[in-house]
Structure 1
Amino acid sequence: MDKVEVVDYNEQWPRKYVYEANVIRNILVGELITITHIGSTAVPGLKAKPTIDILAFVKDVKKLDDLNEKFEAAGYRCLGEDGIKGRRFFMKSDNSVHVHAYDDNNRDRIEALLAFYDYLKDNPEVAKEYEDLKVKLAKKYPRNIKKYTQGKAAFTKEIETKAVNRYRHKDIEQI
């Protein structure tokens, strides 16, 4: 089972994102539309699992399969859809970075991811609830990432619904 660890916010996370985003930009030349830092490490002050999540919005996600060698040369494992239809998932070999790539066919998923973390940034009391839940679940399931994730599911779905409703007026291309 995967170790579940929730740690204090690390001021280095935004820098690590910038570094890895530049690596990914160089791999995705001609395919990348936009790239952004998502996940709990993107929310200043929020405790998180020490994994940088990156969202890459690309022109055609299927074309990324031709770039697997470049991702591997940059230290990533190429995991294909990894359980989410229409996504390409790349994981740094030390599990410190996850890249979630989608194209316009998954605009709803992109919107949900962006909305969720913007909502947490704008609502510190909700972010604190989420943090407390993650800490509690990490203690309860220190070696079971699946149960940890399942334990967060109802809360994240509720917040995601609120966040997307609030977010609908934004234009994804401006992000």
Structure 2
Amino acid sequence: MTNHRTPRRPDVTTLDLVGGPESRTLTLHDHDPRWAERYLEERRRILEALVGHEIEVEHIGSTAVPGLAAKPIVDIVVAVDDITAEEDYLDQLIEVGYELRVREPGHRLVRTPQREVHVHIYERGDGAVGDYLLLRDHLREDVQDRALYQGVKQQLIARNWSDMNEYAEAKSEVIAAIKGRARAARA
């Protein structure tokens, strides 16, 4: 579901992966309670940078799920009123030290220079935000799906990936199945 506001301008129509594909060695770490602390630090930083703008900020991804092994990258989702109005959020986030990594239809991604925090920006009401929260909340509650997801991640992490996006795409089938069960459980 997308927002019913009229965007200020047309959104971008292509993927701009700033810096191009990146080859990285991926490792899983046991859950670390410091990830939640790091999220809170970054949340404060984001809220201060975007003071005066109505936004939503949530900790998402595996680092937001106690008991789940994860890449040591804290993922955050920020929902803004208008994704096309980058002047309302992007410059401010860059000013406080984030770097633009992805600009694509409906989504922007900024990250810390050390690449240990990724901030996903969507428009309020975008279905992706709800999907992130659905998956996070379900994995927090469902031990079996949490173990399944961790097992798949451990199998995939052992492979060589020319780009982190390929690793993320390889998890999409299990994520879709888990979200399906989460939706069914909530119905």
Please indicate the TM-score interval, normalised by the length of the shorter structure: 0.7 to 0.9
CA contact (8 A) 2:30 2:68 kept: yes
**Cα 1:67/1:29, change in 2 over 3 Å:** same
| Alignment correspondent of 2:4 | none
Structure with greater helix percent:
1
Any idea what SS the aligned residue of 1:10 has? coil
| Alignment correspondent of 1:121 | 140
How far 1:67 sits from its partner (Å)?
3.7
Query: Where do 5+ consecutive residues of structure 1 fail to align?
Result: 169-175
CA contact (8 A) 1:52 1:97 kept: yes
Identity score, percent: 28
Q: Distance in 2 between matches of 1:15 and 1:102?
A: 23
Q: Distance in 2 between matches of 1:23 and 1:98?
A: 13
Q: Distance in 1 between matches of 2:170 and 2:64?
A: 21
Paired residues, what number? 165
Q: Distance in 1 between matches of 2:162 and 2:28?
A: 12
Query: Where do 5+ consecutive residues of structure 2 fail to align?
Result: 1-22
How far 1:25 sits from its partner (Å)?
0.5
Q: TM-score, normalised by structure 2?
A: 0.79
How far 1:6 sits from its partner (Å)?
1.1
CA contact (8 A) 1:33 1:56 kept: yes
Q: Distance in 2 between matches of 1:80 and 1:126?
A: 29
Q: TM-score, normalised by structure 1?
A: 0.84
**Alignment root-mean-square deviation, CA:** 2.0
1:89 to 103, 109, 122: 109
Q: Which has the higher contact order (CA 8 A, sep 6+)?
A: 2
